[in-house]
Structure 1
Amino acid sequence: MAELPSFDDVAQASRQGALGTDPSELHGALAGWLAGGGSDAQDWTASVLADPQLPAPQSGDALDQLRAATVAQLEDRSFGFELLLPGADASLNERAEAVFAWCRGFLGGFGLAAGAKPPLSDEGAEALQDMARLAQAAPDSSDDEDDEDALAEIEEFVRVAALLLHGDCVMGPRHRQSLN
């Protein structure tokens, strides 16, 4: 399965490209764009960040690897999709904020690609609403084990929700097309 580049490599590439977004939010935006039916293109940053002036990532750099791995993971039939988040050595607050930023990015990218009335199942519509609530959340400052468990559950929910929305907007229409 395709592996995402490291959080730090994406952060550095984002700074070098003057993208003005953190790695988690950027990956969320890319995943949302792809899940909403956006095109897999070399110049994805311009589309995903709605700034046509942004240069395309260089072939093989961390941002190009991020695109390629995200496409492969969303298409992976074994549901190997991962969120690009800070490592376990980051504080619980940092990791929680990264999950919420990922959701904000996802919603932006998804909205740009899917438009106002995407073809969502009831479960997909509910997942999108839940993700919108998460995008508005802020972490509490605590480091207890219950919060670690809660964050792990939220991460898993977001991962599955992204796959569900990709299924509704990309895989479902693709399968219906192949049946006709």
Structure 2
Amino acid sequence: MSERLPEVADLAAELRELELATQPWELHGALAGWIAGGGQINRRWVADVLADPALADVVEGSALEALGKATFAQMQDSSLGFELLMPDEDASLEIRSGALFDWCRHFLGAFGLAAGAQPKLSADGEEALEDLAQLATATAEPEGDEEDEAAFTEIEEFVRVAALLLHGDCALAQQHRNRLH
């Protein structure tokens, strides 16, 4: 696999330091949506993804820079090595599923910013986008059992694959079209 995502704690500390009211998984979801929709990664990516031009540029060597580089590299990786940035596995199922639903909400917002109102999607891409929208409206249950844990793992894998599918439909297809012209 290509680059590794930064640690959640490092990213959370940097977000607090910058006074950004967002969780690491929310920002990662937004970043993944931005990239999937064809958005560019540069020093201004945080301002672009969060739609706030007043935000400062990404600092070299920061956790934000590592997040941008790793996420872009993972989404471009032909071995499908893309990972979701989530709370630690020892966090409760409620916290992890809530984070996954937040990830989906932020993915959709930034995907819309980058891809526009009517992106050219395959039938599978349309279905994936609809499913992500449904997950974005879900709420975490306070308790869960082994069956819920297994369902969470399946949903997390679906979200990962859906993000890659949308990236293929929008960003990679656009890159391919640009190379042909």
RMSD: 0.9
Aligned residue for 1:141? 142
Question: d(CA) in 1 for partners of 2:176 and 2:47?
Answer: 29
Where do residues 150-165 of structure 1 align in structure 2 (5 Å cutoff)?
A: 150-165=151-166
Q: For the Cα contact (< 8 Å) 2:97–2:152, is it kept in 1?
A: yes
Aligned residue for 2:51? 50
Aligned residue for 1:99? 100
**1:158 Cα deviation after fit:** 0.3
Question: d(CA) in 2 for partners of 1:5 and 1:136?
Answer: 27
The residue matched to 1:118 in structure 2 has which SS? coil
Question: Percent same amino acid at aligned positions?
Answer: 57
The residue matched to 1:177 in structure 2 has which SS? helix
Amino acid at match of 2:173: G
Aligned residue for 1:79? 80
With normalisation by structure 2, the TM-score equals 0.97
**1:94 Cα deviation after fit:** 0.4
Question: d(CA) in 1 for partners of 2:19 and 2:123?
Answer: 38
Deviations, residues 46-100 of structure 1 (Å, cap 9, x unaligned):
0000100111121111011000000000000000000000011111100000000
**1:41 Cα deviation after fit:** 1.1
Unaligned 5+ runs, structure 2: none
Amino acid at match of 1:49: L
Question: d(CA) in 1 for partners of 2:78 and 2:18?
Answer: 32
Amino acid at match of 1:55: A
Question: d(CA) in 2 for partners of 1:174 and 1:57?
Answer: 24
* Pair 1:92–1:60, CA change in 2 (3 A): same
Aligned residue for 2:132? 131
Aligned residue for 1:65? 66
Q: For the Cα contact (< 8 Å) 2:38–2:174, is it kept in 1?
A: no
Amino acid at match of 1:48: V
Aligned residue for 1:176? 177
Unaligned 5+ runs, structure 1: none
Matched, 1:27 2:28: yes
Question: d(CA) in 2 for partners of 1:81 and 1:23?
Answer: 16
Question: d(CA) in 1 for partners of 2:106 and 2:16?
Answer: 17
Question: d(CA) in 1 for partners of 2:80 and 2:114?
Answer: 22
**1:170 Cα deviation after fit:** 1.0
Task: Tell which deviates more after alignment, 105-114 or 13-22.
Answer: 13-22
Question: d(CA) in 1 for partners of 2:19 and 2:34?
Answer: 20
Question: d(CA) in 2 for partners of 1:53 and 1:116?
Answer: 24
Matched, 1:121 2:109: no
Amino acid at match of 1:34: I
Question: d(CA) in 1 for partners of 2:43 and 2:58?
Answer: 7
The residue matched to 1:174 in structure 2 has which SS? helix
Question: d(CA) in 2 for partners of 1:66 and 1:48?
Answer: 13
The residue matched to 2:171 in structure 1 has which SS? helix
